[in-house]
Chains A and B, each alone.
Chain A
């Protein structure tokens, strides 16, 4: 094949306003590239599995309640086996948080690291983009994963519970929506901040993914082991423990039922839900700070 240049020629574009929301193509392209990898689909399948599992539990609860209403059977026994809606919501957020972390390690680990490795910063910043545009695009792409796998399904579970239950029980479930969403958002915030921060510091997606999971497990181990040894303040280092504390406090979860305990056994909590919330926010802020530092270091203006 002989390549011929100038078959069409150079055409000037009409001048006009070209101001679009620059982060959007960045986020969309990052997600598109991630979607093309098989590992992404596998990660999301695990997340979907959790959604189906907990969705099934909610459906069983709703049906049990309707059954109880009609037969006046012992509701306490049903609750002991299948748990309460609070338990399901709280446990779903915690279990999905961990699953989502693994999924993010394969999906989003390379969002910034790959650009760095490929020398693509120049490609971005030779165009009319600011550091904020780039960072917003990458954060949007990263946040899309926990939003889609954690926050939206949490809302879905609540919606199913509220919509499917009888009028008598439905009233109590309405008030569970905001705390469930708030807990899921806390988890999503931590996941987004942590993975984007580590991605900004690293250069290879696989290493970043492994480090991200190691950081999560390491902090969780510290946060569980040291409080048991008499240093309760170290419990705030564990994002899992922090999220558990926030979830249980917001949703006012009592003792675990048999069914939920099989899926998620719970665990010790931190002393203050507010401090746990603060710890989650600070840890995610560290991640966003790392992204900011990287971009300041690499790019002028």
Chain B
């Protein structure tokens, strides 16, 4: 199991950043989605052992965050959202230094740093001081520093913030390549749904310190596939009444032969056919609503309490 949380709670004063977080996450690339202040960064820091949970249990790569924090950090890479750089060092030195801090020998760290900088697309600028870097270059350096020691899981906190479209595209490509290749698993924290949709195979949706969804992306979108648009030959009122009695959500269209039906959790789409037969309405159009991640996300987080 990549990540597992059981009743994790973390408060800062009176503010509960995480409140009874329970989730089990598996996958090669996991999106950690949520609006600002949802608790994403706090959860990442708990994974790293940078923050201790007030209550609950958390494991990363099967290791306990309270007792095996150092072992976890040995196998984790982290690209923080904030500055997190050493002023005065060049890009190459920064990445090599990160490798050395993880136990690589100096020569190995330098060689590996060159590889990682090639990977993230920092060419000759790697020899310049990091203070002179643009925001996008900083993001790339942070990713290179997170990858330099070959971790089993890399945590990327808002890595596409401040990137131009081309660089963003390249970074998302990198995540896809890591996911599909031999690279580390990726936990991508972001509020950009498109980034998750493009790169991840699973996601955790958080809001107000709680997990609203955790699982494969496909599962999230399937939930949306329970809503259907239908048209009948003649008025749809009898069908609407029949389905309404069985717990379906009914929205009437502008025309009297148009309906939007939302099936309850326990019902199968065959219920609509049964209703049409029972109410004597002939269906001539039936279509499941398209399931964009944005709609699914908004549905998962629900109204802000």
User: Does A pair with B?
Assistant: yes
Q: A residues bordering B, Cβ < 8 Å? A: 1-13, 18-20, 22, 25-26, 29, 33, 36, 114-115, 118-120, 122-130, 299-301
* CB nearest to B148 among chain A residues: A13
Q: A128-B103, A129-B101 are in contact. Are A118 and B52 (CB under 8 A)?
A: no
Cβ contact of B112, chosen from A13, A26, A126, A299, cutoff 8 A: A13
Cα distance A300–B177 when bound, in Å? 34
> Which residues from chain B contact A118 at a C-beta distance below 8 Å?
83-87
* B86:A8 contact, CB within 8 angstroms: no
Query: Which of chain B's residues 69-106 have a Cβ closer than 8 Å to chain A?
Result: 69-71, 73-74, 76, 78, 80, 82-89, 93, 97-98, 100-106
Contact, CB under 8 Å: B86 / A123: yes
B83 and A29 contacting across the interface, CB-CB below 8 Å: no
Find chain B residues with CB under 8 A from A6 CB.
119, 173-174, 177
A9 and B80 CA atoms in complex are apart in Å by 23
A122 CA to B106 CA in the complex, in Å? 21
Contact pick for A123, options B98, B104, B121, B173, CB 8 Å: B98
Query: Which chain A positions have C-beta within 8 A of B145?
Result: 123
Interface of A, secondary structure class, is loop
User: B178 interface residue, CB < 8 Å from A?
Assistant: yes
Residues of B in contact with A (beta carbons under 8 Å apart): 48-52, 69-71, 73-74, 76, 78, 80, 82-89, 93, 97-98, 100-106, 112, 115, 118-123, 145, 147, 149-150, 166-167, 170-171, 173-174, 177-178, 181-183
CA distance A10 to B281 in the complex (A): 59
Interface centre among A9, A25, A33, A129 (most CB of B within 10 A): A25
Task: Give min CB distance, B133 to chain A, whole Å.
Answer: 13
Nearest A residue to B142 by beta-carbon distance? A123
**6 residue pairs A–B, Cβ–Cβ below 8 Å:** A20-B104, A123-B85, A126-B73, A126-B78, A301-B69, A301-B70
Residues of B within 8 A of A20 (CB): 100, 103-105
CB of A36, distance to nearest CB on chain B (Å): 6
Most chain A CB neighbours (cut-off 10 Å) among B70, B103, B150: B103
**B residues less than 8 Å from A1 (CB atoms):** 123
The reply to whether A128 and B102 contact each other, CB–CB distance below 8 Å, is: yes
- A25–B101 contact, CB under 8 A? yes
- For the complex, give the distance between the alpha carbons of A5 and B139 in Å: 14
Q: Which partner residue on chain B sits nearest A29 by CB separation?
A: B97
With A5-B174, A300-B49 known as contacts, the answer to whether A124 contacts B101 (CB < 8 A) is yes
Q: A18-B149, A26-B101 are in contact. List 17 more A-B contacts (CB 8 A).
A: A5-B121, A7-B119, A9-B177, A10-B177, A12-B183, A13-B150, A20-B105, A29-B86, A29-B93, A119-B80, A119-B83, A122-B50, A123-B84, A127-B73, A127-B98, A130-B70, A299-B50
